Chains A and B, each alone.
Chain A
Amino acid sequence: GENVEQHPSTLSVQEGDSAVIKCTYSDSASNYFPWYKQELGKGPQLIIDIRSNVGEKKDQRIAVTLNKTAKHFSLHITETQPEDSAVYFCAAATNAGKSTFGDGTTLTVKP
């Protein structure tokens, strides 16, 4: 089955710096790659996603890149703010409706 590896597991940055989280996947049938933000005591919330026919997508301070050949995708957050502090999960999904999640990255943005 699909295996998704996410790095790093923890990331601490200064406010205003950039943060990058990387994921690799194993199943070439995966064609949808969402990123979720989970705040304490809440369910995951989709922040950005990318489909396999696209290499890059940007939404304000957040961007995601996908390299299908290498089977990896990354989340980039620029100009980080303290409210960006949360746990971030990547996932890979197939047309069969199955999603496999990475283990999560705890991002801390220091004021």
Chain B
Amino acid sequence: DSGVTQTPKHLITATGQRVTLRCSPRSGDLSVYWYQQSLDQGLQFLIHYYNGEERAKGNILERFSAQQFPDLHSELNLSSLELGDSALYFCASSTSWESGETQYFGPGTRLLVL
């Protein structure tokens, strides 16, 4: 158990809908990262937040957004969902924002868009 929690574990929804994925980092960690893992594209970095502020953006679509709240949990919002958004979504946390900090991954949320 990494100490990172993600809810829900599974999510089934329809195209065009909007969903929110939630992540609670390890106690004391200030950084949260979001990743998408699909069969054809592997692990893709989406976005990184540190202590409530966006630090880096990866291949995140405009239909997707994220935020980190004062209690340090983070939410990833996916809107206007398409079939191709079906994937595993992981969040990870680390102590600080610096490169070289160990990232601890949560168990993931499996999203299926029908």
- A-to-B contact residues, CB < 8 Å: 31-32, 34, 36, 41-46, 49, 51, 89, 91, 93-104
Picked from A42, A89, A97, the residue with its CB within 8 Å of the CB of B55 is A97
User: Which residues of chain A have C-beta atoms less than 8 A from B31's C-beta?
Assistant: 97
Residue of B nearest to A31 (CB): B99
Please determine whether B48 and A98 come into contact, CB atoms closer than 8 angstroms: yes
Interface size on B, residues (CB 8 A): 26
User: Which residues of chain B have C-beta atoms less than 8 A from A100's C-beta?
Assistant: 45
Q: How many Å from the CB of A104 to the closest CB on chain B?
A: 6
Please determine whether B99 and A94 come into contact, CB atoms closer than 8 angstroms: yes
Q: Bound state CA distance, A76 and B84, in angstroms?
A: 35
Please determine whether B42 and A42 come into contact, CB atoms closer than 8 angstroms: no
Please determine whether A43 and B108 come into contact, CB atoms closer than 8 angstroms: yes
User: Which residues of chain A have C-beta atoms less than 8 A from B97's C-beta?
Assistant: 97
CB of B114 within 8 A of chain A?
Answer: no
Residue of B nearest to A43 (CB): B105
Residue of B nearest to A42 (CB): B107
Q: Bound state CA distance, A98 and B44, in angstroms?
A: 10
Q: Bound state CA distance, A102 and B41, in angstroms?
A: 10
Q: How many Å from the CB of B47 to the closest CB on chain A?
A: 10
Please determine whether B56 and A43 come into contact, CB atoms closer than 8 angstroms: no
Q: Bound state CA distance, A94 and B98, in angstroms?
A: 9
Please determine whether A101 and B48 come into contact, CB atoms closer than 8 angstroms: no
Please determine whether B99 and A45 come into contact, CB atoms closer than 8 angstroms: no
User: Which residues of chain A have C-beta atoms less than 8 A from B100's C-beta?
Assistant: 31-32, 49, 51, 93
